[in-house]
Amino acid sequence: MNSFINSQSFAKIGMLTILIGAIINIILDPIFIFTLGLGVKGAALATVISQFISAFGTIYFLTGKKTILKLQIKNMFLKKKYVTKIFSLGTAGFMMAITNSIVTIVCNATLQTCCGDLYIVIMTIINSIREVASLPGQGMANACQPVLGYNYGAGEYNRVLQGIKFVTLTSLSMMLILWLSITIFPELFIKIFSHNQEIINNSTSALRLYFFVFS
């Protein structure tokens, strides 16, 4: 629901709600996985808790006083013309999200069968690093939507094109710097989650391979 916040020109708050969830996940992952010894269950629990807190913050803002368009029960009834438009716009995003979920499920099941808990932990660390690394690009994309939408509605198509070019170049530059940092210094990012030498040794090559393909 961050898009509902961004579309009302509260891009900072929209990005903050995502950032809160990511930071809490980073903090809880090593605590649940290693300190409490929960392994894969700990990683799952940390993700559920962090996403719940992020969602609660989003709903709290959208029902509060600062928001322009409030979430209200009386507006929750479906209307065909709006549902059709939402489905036409949301199908692409849905397919990307469901595909990512299927890949994660298949990957974890395969790792559990062939490699055991160690490599599931490694994959959890890699996915957490990926989530953090993708935040700047997501933030730029979400923050530009109100600006592009406003100019598109005003018929200022040249401004829309300029905005797309600026966001694309800026995002690519940021992501390239992050990609190079993670590829060249993988140990620094892995140690955020674990100081176990076995995990670090096995994660280094896996992280480089993952981000080489991810690029």
pLDDT, tens digit (0-9, with 9 covering 90-100), for 159-208: 999 999 999 999 999 989 999 998 899 988 998 888 888 888 888 888 88
For 39-43, 166-170, 210-214, which range has the lowest pLDDT when averaged over its residues?
A: 210-214
pLDDT tens readout for residues 44-81:
999 999 999 999 999 999 999 889 888 888 888 888 98
The domain limits of the chain are 1-76, 78-114, 118-215
Region of residue 18 (phi > 0: left; psi between -120 and 50: alpha; otherwise: beta): alpha
Asked if the model's pLDDT at residue 11 lies above 90, the reply is: no
Q: State the distance between the two ends of the chain, measured CA to CA, in whole angstroms.
A: 27
**What is the mean predicted confidence (pLDDT) over 16-32?**
92
